[in-house]
Amino acid sequence: MASKAIMEKSDLKIEDDRTGLESETIQRAFLDNLFYVQGKRPENATKNDLYLAISYTIRDRIMHRWLNSNKYYTDNDARAVGYLSAEFLMGPQLGNNLINLGLFDQMGKIFDSFGLDINEILDQEEEPGLGNGGLGRLAACFLDSMATLNIPSVGYGIRYEFGIFDQEIRDGWQVEITDKWLKFGNPWEIPRNEASVEVKFGGHTGVYHDEEGNHRVAWHPDQVVLAIPYDTLILGYLTDNTAVLRLWKSEASESFYFQEYNRGNYYGAVEEKVTSENITKVLYPNDEQESGKTLRLMQQYFFVSATLQDTIRFHCKVRKHSLEIFHEKITLQLNDTHPAIAVAEMMRLLIDEHLMDWDKAWYVTTNTFGYTNHTLLPEALETWPVAKMEHTLPRLMEIILEINHHFLEEVRQKFPNDAARITRMSIIGEGGVRHVRMAHLAIVGSYAVNGVAQLHTELLTSKVLVNFFEMWPEKFSNKTNGITPRRWLLLNNPSLAELINSKIGIDWAIDLYELKKLEQYIENETFQKQWQKAKHAAKDRLAKKIKKNLGIDVDPKTLFDIQVKRIHEYKRQHLNVLHIITLYNRIKANPAIDIVPRTFIFGGKAAPAYHMAKLIIKLINAVGDVVNHDPDVDGRIKVVFIPDYNVKNSQEVYPAADLSEQISTAGKEASGTGNMKFTMNGALTIGTMDGANIEIREEVGEENFFLFGLNAQEVFDLKSGFYDTIAIYHENEALKQCLDMISSGHFSPDQPDRFQSLVDALKYHDPYLLLADYQSYIDCQDRVSECFRDQVKWTKMSILNTARCGKFSSDRTIKEYCEEIWKVNPVKVEIPAYDPKNIENVAFENQ
């Protein structure tokens, strides 16, 4: 055996240099990678070379954990989870991996000894922005928790070449720049060409009879695309288990176009190559469904088909099981409807390719999938025109129709003589162009359906999906979202984490309810002072960054009032702006007024085609221009828009917040997860009774939460009656003044009617009820200011917010998914580290 000879001769000290955790070993490995991987000596290495060398050093330390985990899970035939998501918003990897390996501080010291600042090296990393917002980040937090909790798990998604666009602000407007995150290479991913699969598109189907005379369908596609998996290792926190993120990249399938090529159609073949490679080129930057783009449908089917083929291969070839027990060994969670075509694709694979009969295949399919819904906006529910589906995925459309046929039969049996119900529940919507309702397909094909916060689930089961709830109440449950405390507190907020650790140790990083122990120090003045100091340190860090990047002076002693999230009318950034203008007007009316100085900080991207959202960004900046430069204001209010808000930039934001703005119209925000990030970092929330705000308030205590506005029921009632916006406008003088100023061009003298459409939308329609909630919001903000004057009181409230955020760890969420939906148990990896010199262990198998 050649491998044996190589190993006997070599004296590579592989174990030491690749896995060792001693500082000296790490230093040696780092210099080795710099020299042999980057091809640089220290004296001419760029910061990026250093970043890559250290990343490879860390990756080596993850590798044996990963290979061990895989082998252990396979040997133990452990039940596993596949998390299917069109988005994974992972954020920078190096810092997180250092934290999870327990090496962060040690690495800081090593870099110190080299005369380098580790933060500058960490800052080199371009984050993979493979998501839009909450849904994508949730998937990333879930991977961290699954790995930490020793759950055998794989995240499946798309390796977009260009992630969410980089945002620049020019003259107050958003400008989108292509995100070239792969420009300098990605040290965290490993391509697995050998595990590539083919995915079909277009063409037509035909009927044939197999050898036994069975009626079968064959799909004759006109395009076949190669799906190549790229694996990223996901470390758990202080555990040897790992998870993996497997992202698919599309390439041309040479063999399929070979004939074309041989017929002399060279350009035709190359053209196909281009279309094939386009599939995973770019992430759609909308956080709701846009009128059906074929390429988006192709993206969804592409990664779903590749994923199912991969799991089936693993189940049958690696684990050597029969497909009939697929659902016993693997469960697949659908992150919203983006991968919902999986229900039909699973049927296709089982029936057409693995020759299972319909009923058996349906049993396996409907015991495999779980579906998570993330929205309440009816206009955001995903649908695809039947004609488009037929053209792009002809076989899938046939299967969907057959699923629907069986399903509607079941509905008829349960609810006889109820034609209206059939119409409401059908997977095919008939109004206008016939369309496939992906949420219906997902529910019909899944054994479990869940919402992401209590209120959200209640509204789903009582309104949006009530017919399905009546049909299968047992399928439905709530799984309130969570966030990983490793990234969102331990990594991002070192000053606060250090203080917490000095008091109660660090067990909170794996059991967030441990933070409760902080409550015993609440009256301790020294502790209060230390808490303020930590908060101040974080505010100072953000202030310096703002000064450096935007040239704006902000005073860390002012109240930092922050709203960071996607820009959307329902999230009501413009309500926040109305408050700023109200304060501004109070100052203008009485420049000597005693107000609590505030720094208003915004961040977030608008979907490129969402004009109102882009206008809101311009409005924020326009108001900032006026307010920030008015001598009467005298620095007492400042408005800052942080460009290009993303996971990396958010690191400095959450720790620096005094006040968290969670002001969506009640009943519109499914959960929110930014709200949890603020709470965990000791910010107080001003918020509506929406999404997880309700649960946050319940946990931290209503006296530690600033509640305002209509609740979901009141919103519903108001909208079902006559909502008289004009009356509110005329009756509320301060509000009228704000709106009149905006429409008169006070903030846009160069083009006075610039914001007219925005004001008109509020005055004459106001679907998100800003006018209805305005006064309640302003009154609540006044209470916030009064409270902030009492720094001791504020600090105690801040401590309690952190101390009581235990519920919002994604570890809690994942445990609930595991116990109540997935029925997957933790498997603690227990095999010795890989020793390449132990020849007895080496067995090469062809797989």
Between 383 and 530, name the residue whose CB sits nearer to ligand 26Q: 383
Q: What Å distances lie between residue 353 and 219, 323, 709, CA to CA?
A: 10, 12, 55
- The stretch near ligand 26Q (CB under 6 A) out of 164-172, 193-201, 635-643, 669-677 is 669-677
Cβ-count burial 14-44 (b if 16+ within 10 Å, e if not):
bbebbbbeeeebbebbbbbbbeeebebeeee
Q: State which residue has the least CB distance to ligand 26Q.
A: 134
Sheet holding 435-437, edge to edge: 383-385, 435-437, 428-429
225 three-state secondary structure: strand
Minimum separation from the CB atom of position 805 to ligand 26Q (A): 16
Among 65, 327, 374, 535, binds ligand 26Q (CB under 6 A): 374
Judged by CB under 6 A, does residue 382 bind ligand 26Q?
yes
Q: Give the shortest CB-659-to-ligand 26Q separation in angstroms.
A: 20
Which residue, 187 or 691, is less far from ligand 26Q as judged by CB? 691
The residue within the footprint of ligand 26Q, chosen from 124, 481, 563, 798 (CB under 6 A), is 481
Nearer to ligand 26Q, 95 or 691 (CB): 691
Long-range Cβ pairs for the range 167-175 (8 Å, 24+): 167/605, 167/643, 167/644, 167/645, 168/643, 168/644, 169/617, 169/621, 169/641, 169/643, 172/617, 172/618, 172/621, 172/622, 172/625, 173/614, 173/617, 173/618, 173/621, 174/605, 174/606, 174/614, 174/617, 174/618
- Residue numbers 267-286 binding ligand 26Q by CB under 6 A: 284, 286
57 is a site residue for ligand 26Q (CB under 6 A) = no
For ligand 26Q, the binding residue among 61, 296, 539, 636 (CB under 6 A) is: 296
User: Among residues 296 and 746, whose Cβ is nearest to ligand 26Q?
Assistant: 296
Q: In angstroms, what is the minimal distance from the CB of 568 to ligand 26Q?
A: 8
| Only segment of 51-59, 118-126, 288-296, 502-510 that touches ligand 26Q (CB under 6 A) | 288-296
Q: Does 717 contact ligand 26Q by CB under 6 A?
A: no
User: Most distant CA pair in the chain: distance in Å?
Assistant: 92
Q: Applying CB under 6 A, which part among 77-85, 127-135, 247-255, 768-776 lies near ligand 26Q? A: 127-135
Contact flag: residue 563 with ligand 26Q (CB under 6 A) = no
Least distance in Å: CB of 296 to ligand 26Q? 5
C-beta closer to ligand 26Q: residue 129 or 624:
129
Pick one of 672, 682, 687, 709: the residue that binds ligand 26Q (CB under 6 A): 672
- E strands, 204-256, are 204-209, 215-220, 223-235, 242-252
Pick the closer one to ligand 26Q by CB: 32 or 288: 288
- In order of 38, 47, 53, 109, the CA distances from 44 in angstroms are 11, 10, 13, 22
Stretch that binds ligand 26Q, among 203-211, 354-362, 527-535, 668-676 (CB under 6 A): 668-676
Cβ at position 292, least distance to ligand 26Q in Å = 8
Q: Is 690 an interacting residue with respect to ligand 26Q (CB under 6 A)?
A: no
Q: Is residue 673 close enough to count as binding ligand 26Q by CB under 6 A?
A: yes
Which residues have a Cβ under 8 Å from the Cβ of 204 and sit 6 or more positions away? 219, 220, 394
Toward ligand 26Q, which CB reaches closer, 493 or 673?
A: 673
CB of 346 closer than 8 Å to CB of 365: yes
Taking alpha carbons only, the member of 32, 38, 22 closest to residue 57 is 32
Cβ nearer to ligand 26Q, comparing 31 with 282: 282
The answer to whether residue 553 forms part of the interface with ligand 26Q (CB under 6 A) is no
CA distances from 611 to 79, 370, 531, 703, 838 (A): 47, 35, 42, 39, 63
Stretch that binds ligand 26Q, among 132-140, 408-416, 738-746, 819-827 (CB under 6 A): 132-140
Neighbours of 686 (CB within 10 A): 25
Q: Is the Cβ of residue 451 or residue 655 nearer to ligand 26Q in the bound state?
A: 451
DSSP percent split of the chain into helix, strand, coil, nearest 5 = 55, 15, 30
500 binds ligand 26Q (CB under 6 A): no
Report the alpha-carbon distance of residue 461 to residue 706 in Å, rounded.
Answer: 28
Tally helices (H) and strands (E) across the chain. 35, 25
Using CB under 6 A, pick the residue from 126, 179, 189, 287 that binds ligand 26Q: 287
Q: Which is nearer to ligand 26Q, 576 or 673 (CB)?
A: 673
Nearest residue to 800 via CA among 564, 515, 400:
515
**Closest-CA residue to 599 (of 629, 568, 640, 630):** 640
What residues act catalytically? 374, 565-566, 571, 673, 677
- Among 60-68, 194-202, 344-352, 665-673, the segment contacting ligand 26Q (CB under 6 A): 665-673
Q: To which residue do tokens 């311009």 refer?
A: 618
Smallest separation (angstroms) from ligand 26Q to the CB of 480: 10
Report if residue 132 touches ligand 26Q, rule: CB under 6 A. yes
Using CB under 6 A, which of 127, 240, 272, 669 touches ligand 26Q?
669
Report how far residue 384's alpha carbon sits from residue 393's, in angstroms, rounded to the nearest whole number. Answer: 11
Residue whose CB is less far from ligand 26Q, 19 or 335: 335
Q: Is 290 in the site for ligand 26Q (CB under 6 A)?
A: yes
Q: Does 133 bind ligand 26Q (CB under 6 A)?
A: yes
Residue 139 C-beta: closest distance to ligand 26Q, Å = 9
The crossing angle, in degrees rounded to 10, of helices 94-101 and 134-148 is 30
Strand 197-201 and strand 204-209: pairing?
unpaired
Q: Which window, 22-30, 556-564, 666-674, 712-720, contacts ligand 26Q (CB under 6 A)? A: 666-674
Residues 137-176 within binding reach of ligand 26Q (CB under 6 A): 138
Distance CA(243)–CA(141), nearest Å, equals 12
Q: According to CB under 6 A, which one of 452, 515, 710, 829 is a site residue for ligand 26Q?
A: 452
C-alpha to C-alpha distance for 683 and 561, rounded to whole angstroms:
9
Note the residue count of the chain: 847
CB of 295 to ligand 26Q, least distance (A): 10
Is 807 among the residues that bind ligand 26Q (CB under 6 A)?
no
Least distance between ligand 26Q and beta carbon 772 (Å): 21
Query: In the bound complex, what is the minimum distance in angstroms from residue 481's beta carbon to ligand 26Q?
Result: 5
CA angle 688, 694, 697 (to 5 degrees): 95
**135 lies in the site for ligand 26Q, by CB under 6 A:** yes
What is the C-alpha to C-alpha distance for residues 463 and 174, in angstroms, rounded to an integer? 36
Q: Is residue 38 within 8 Å of residue 78, measured between CB atoms?
A: no
Smallest distance, ligand 26Q to C-beta of residue 612, A = 17
Least separation in angstroms between residue 691's CB and ligand 26Q is 5
> Which region among 98-106, 304-312, 663-671, 699-707 touches ligand 26Q (by CB under 6 A)?
663-671
Euclidean distance between CA atoms 510 and 51, whole angstroms: 28
Instruction: Quote the crossing angle between the two packed helices 94-101 and 104-113, to the nearest 10°.
Output: 110
**How many Å apart are CA 492 and CA 484, to the nearest integer?**
11
Q: Using CB under 6 A, which of 33, 289, 365, 704 touches ligand 26Q?
A: 289
* Residue 185 burial class via C-beta count within 10 angstroms: exposed 0-12, middle 13-18, buried 19 and up: exposed
- Please tell me whether residue 587 adopts helix, strand or coil conformation: helix
Is residue 334 within 8 Å of 340, Cβ to Cβ? yes
Nearer residue to ligand 26Q within complex by CB, 96 or 662: 662
Cα first-last separation, the chain = 18
The span from the CA of 375 to the CA of 456, in Å, is: 8
Least distance from ligand 26Q to the Cβ atom of residue 372, Å: 7
Interacting residues toward ligand 26Q by CB under 6 A? 132-135, 138, 284, 286-290, 296, 338, 374, 382, 452, 481, 669-673, 691
